[in-house]
A = this chain, B = another copy of it.
Amino acid sequence: MSSQPPHPALLIPGPIEFDDAVLQAMSHYSESHVGMPFVNTFGETLSMLRKLFQTSDPKSQGFVISGSGTLGWDQVAANLVEPGDEVLVLHTGYFADSFADCFETYGIKPTQLKAPIGERPQQNEVEEALKARQYKLITITHTDTSTGVLSEIESIAQLVHRVSPDTLIVVDGVCSVGCEEIRFDDWGIDCVITASQKAIGCPAGLSIVMTSGRALDRFKARTKPPGSYFASWKNWLPIMQNYEARKPSYFATPSPQLVHALHTSLTQILSRPLEERFQKHKEASQKIKKAIADMGLKQLASKPENQANGMTAIYLPEGMSPPEILPTLMKKGVIFAGGLHKQIAAKYVRFGHMGVSVTDPKRDDIDRAIKALKEGLEEVGYKAPNGST
């Protein structure tokens, strides 16, 4: 039995539904941020992050800082590049535009490589861009939360290593870490930024980052100090190293309760093979995508290979808008999100399928959501085309 009161299933692309034990960890009694009980909890959390990101290189380093996923962009822009540097931003939706804005704030020059809505930049386009100019780093949004478009990290990383080996590879994994495979060492990634409230399954409030030794060397070789104070690795790197070495350390007060919740969710995630977790997300995603096709609906993401496994962005039937269907779903106990990509926001909804809603066999969130969507669409007057069920 769940210890949570009855409530609608939150099936937006983050925050997601949380496990009881994770929520209970949020109520942990107050501890000193520099006392050994908490230092041990934080240290273990940082060690577990290495497993989540599949890095065993001792030169890698995780960061867990109070903030939202957005703070990860500031960490990249303020620490890994210097004013005047050129960076290449692969665009698959809203979040690349914002990441580019963030770079500009710090005096970095972003070039966006855009694809039509629902697509992702092609390998040959990326290759051409990388050959045209020397970029200090490239950013790839793994899953763009506004479109549900999935990028192919491994092949892009191979391309960068071949064509522009000095370019750091930065992955925005806010909507992918914990539900899509990321092999940090094997794929030669330099930095992944993410947040707590999506597939990691911990309430919002933590910016989570993994960096490679190469990225840290680049950081240490800066000619100017980092462009942010709160996001500065000059301030945070020794703190994270100390906590992971189980030594008390202070720059700014961490949130013991959120770190306890993250510790709990990571312990749960790592108690099973990661491949199994990714496979479960794939299976749930395929089930959802098939059901949506059966309803005669289309996704924003144009083809199976660019469709995320942790969320689905669904075009509504012609003439229907999110304010018509979302309240109907809510009445059926299911919360979806509206559109976020400015050009087409009024035409689609987003269904998040990450974490316990997918992995906990005691939950029927996904089946209920599919049923609610089908019934809800019919209630607001939609008839699936012939051949659809």
Spell out A's residues near B (CB within 8 Å). Answer: 4-5, 7, 10, 12, 14-18, 23-24, 26-35, 66-71, 73-74, 77, 101-102, 105-106, 195, 197, 203-205, 225-232, 250-258, 335, 337, 340
Of the candidates B228, B254, B257, B340, which one forms a contact with A74 in the assembled complex, judged by CB atoms under 8 Å apart?
A: B228
Q: Which residues of B contact A251 (CB under 8 A)?
A: 70
Name the residue of chain B whose CB is nearest to the CB of A340: B250
Given contacts A7-B29, A255-B205, A226 and B105 within 8 Å (CB-CB): yes
Chain B residues near A71 (CB, 8 Å)?
66-67, 230, 252
Q: How many copies does the complex hold?
A: 2
B254-A204 in contact (CB<8A): yes
Could you tell me the distance between the alpha carbons of A24 and B24 in the complex, rounded to whole angstroms? Answer: 8
Q: A10-B32, A23-B27, A203-B257 are in contact. List 7 more A-B contacts (CB 8 A).
A: A23-B28, A66-B67, A66-B68, A70-B229, A70-B230, A204-B253, A204-B255
A27 touches B24 (CB 8 A): yes
In the assembled complex, 6 residue pairs joining A and B whose CB atoms fall closer than 8 Å, in A order, are A23-B27, A24-B27, A33-B204, A66-B71, A67-B230, A205-B258
Given contacts A18-B30, A31-B15, contact A105 B66 (CB under 8 A): no
- 9 closest residue pairs by CB, A with B: A205-B255, A70-B252, A68-B252, A26-B26, A102-B229, A105-B229, A204-B255, A23-B27, A74-B230
A16 contacts B30, CB within 8 Å? Answer: yes
What residues of B have a CB within 8 angstroms of the CB of A69 in the complex? Answer: 252-253
**A197–B7 alpha-carbon span in the complex (Å):** 29
The CA of A74 and the CA of B250, in the complex, are separated in Å by: 18
Q: Which B residues are in CB contact (< 8 Å) with A32?
A: 10, 12, 15, 335, 337
| A31 & B10 in contact (Cβ 8 Å cutoff) | yes
A203–B15 CB distance below 8 A: no
Q: Which residues of B contact A29 (CB under 8 A)?
A: 4-5, 7, 18, 23
Residues in B with CB closer than 8 Å to A70 are: 229-230, 251-252
A30-B15, A106-B229, A337-B32 known; A204 vs B68 contact (CB < 8 Å)? no
